[in-house]
Amino acid sequence: MHPRLVLVASVTIGLAVALIGALWSLADGSAQNGPRGAGVKDPDPAAAARIEMPAAATSLPAVRLRAVTAADPCALPAVQQALASGGDDAVIGAFGGGAAFRAAVATGNAPCIDLADPNRDWVVVNKIRPLNPITFAPSSFGDPALSVDGAGSVRSDVAQALDRLSAGADAAGVGSIALASGYRSYDTQVQTYSGQIAQYGQAQGDALSARPGHSEHQTGLAADVVSCAGGCGSIDSFGGTDAGAWVAQNGWQYGFIVRYVAGQTPITGYDAEPWHLRYVGVPLATAYHDGGYATLEQFFGLPAAPAYAG
């Protein structure tokens, strides 16, 4: 090609590149700074279409975020039906199991679940969460097959679970387990609490016994148990027995947790009580065990309750 033609071609290509660059620059400036001034012509339609593409792409992350937003499980028909007519296990199953139920409650994504409902397995009673009504009593009672004199009753389904727990312990070779103290009415708790305060003083009494209306025993879901290997012992000795160790490791399989364990007094407000079992049902007890939780407060994301509000 003639040298002059080469020069002309190069200049032409350079001008074209410069023009395209100017168009993109003007378009970018318009996006950043608003409408361009008078006398500046808009780029051709094809260029305008190309310019809109980056802006459209910026909406993609918002679409992805909406796709992962969790639905309210309480709006599920299965959950609503279970709450209306099903048992507690049915409700937890409708949530997707114990772990999913716990997660929904702990993150505040389950407004239909009331942790203050004393008729439910998941009720939480502690020093800042009294029973409502404060004189609540269970609607059903039952007696386990093995209990000591004066033990009283528990909720009927809890009595059946205690029978299964005792049979499991016996089959494991650690001896049977008997109920030593079950349901306590509000009036009974008044007497129990007053006796502890009289004997140990206010501070120690509050660490040993719940104030009336703040006791798990009043729900019918709590059971103080003893080991009956070659004769029944006392609740104070239960933690040092083979049965006590077995229950701590295996009670969850029967729906029980050890409610007050060592090292958790700053959360529960109570000294360790290896004999104090709390029934929460197998689905929740399984999630509690598998998650390595030590208190119901931690399990459900509730504040610590080391002392009474007033």
282 vs 42: which has the higher pLDDT: 282
Q: Which of 20-24, 157-161, 259-263, 302-306 has the least mean pLDDT? A: 20-24
63 vs 140: which has the higher pLDDT: 140
Does the residue 53 lie in any domain? no
Cα gap 296→270, rounded to integer Å: 13
The contacts of residue 93 (CB under 8 Å, 6+ apart) are: 82, 283
Residue 175 sits in a domain of what CATH number? 3.30.1380.10
In this prediction, residue 207 has a pLDDT band, given cuts at 50, 70 and 90, of confident
Position 232, amino acid: C
Cα gap 38→49, rounded to integer Å: 22
DSSP string for 276-291: EEEE--HHHHHHHHHT
Contact between residue 256 and residue 161 where contact means Cβ atoms under 8 Å apart: yes
192 vs 13: which has the higher pLDDT: 192
Position 149, amino acid: D
At residue 230, what are phi and psi to the nearest 5 degrees? 70, 35
Cα gap 94→90, rounded to integer Å: 6
CA distances from 295 to 84, 105, 165, 178 (A): 29, 15, 21, 24
Average pLDDT over residues 163-186: 98
Cα gap 182→153, rounded to integer Å: 5
118's tokens: 């004393």
Where do the DSSP E strands lie in 234-307? 256-260, 273-279
Q: How confident is the model at residue 71, as a pLDDT?
A: 77
Coil, helix or strand at residue 127: coil
pLDDT surpasses 80 at 139: yes
Q: What are the pLDDT digits (tens) for 232-248? A: 999 999 999 999 999 99
Domain count, the chain: 1
Q: Which of 3-17, 96-110, 256-270 has the least mean pLDDT? A: 3-17
Does the residue 253 lie in any domain? yes
Q: How confident is the model at residue 290, as a pLDDT?
A: 98
Nearest to 280 by CA among 143, 105, 151, 28: 105
Does the residue 263 lie in any domain? yes
Structural domain harbouring 199: 134-299
> Do strands 222-228 and 256-260 pair parallel, antiparallel, or not at all (unpaired)?
unpaired
Q: What is the mean pLDDT of the chain?
A: 83
97's tokens: 């199991």
pLDDT surpasses 80 at 4: no
**Most distant CA atoms of the chain, gap in Å:** 119
Q: Integer distance in angstroms from the first to the last C-alpha of the chain?
A: 100
Percent of the chain with pLDDT over 70: 77
Q: How confident is the model at residue 150, as a pLDDT?
A: 94
Q: Crossing angle for the helix pair 77-85 and 88-95, nearest 10 degrees?
A: 170
pLDDT surpasses 70 at 27: no
Neighbours of 178 (CB within 10 A): 21
In this prediction, residue 86 has a pLDDT band, given cuts at 50, 70 and 90, of confident
pLDDT surpasses 60 at 11: no
DSSP string for 35-79: SPPTTPPPPPHHHHHHHHHHHHHTTHHHHHHHHTPPP-GGGSHHH
17 vs 71: which has the higher pLDDT: 71
222's tokens: 């709590």
Does the residue 22 lie in any domain? no
pLDDT surpasses 80 at 93: yes
Contact between residue 258 and residue 230 where contact means Cβ atoms under 8 Å apart: no
Residue 63: half-sphere exposure toward Cβ, Cα within 13 Å: 5
Strands of the sheet with 256-260, listed across from one edge? 176-181, 222-228, 273-279, 256-260
Does the residue 114 lie in any domain? no
Does the residue 86 lie in any domain? no
45 preceded by a cis bond (ω within 30 of 0): no
Does the residue 241 lie in any domain? yes
Contact between residue 303 and residue 127 where contact means Cβ atoms under 8 Å apart: no
Q: What are the pLDDT digits (tens) for 223-232? A: 999 999 889 9
Does the residue 256 lie in any domain? yes
Q: How confident is the model at residue 1, as a pLDDT?
A: 46
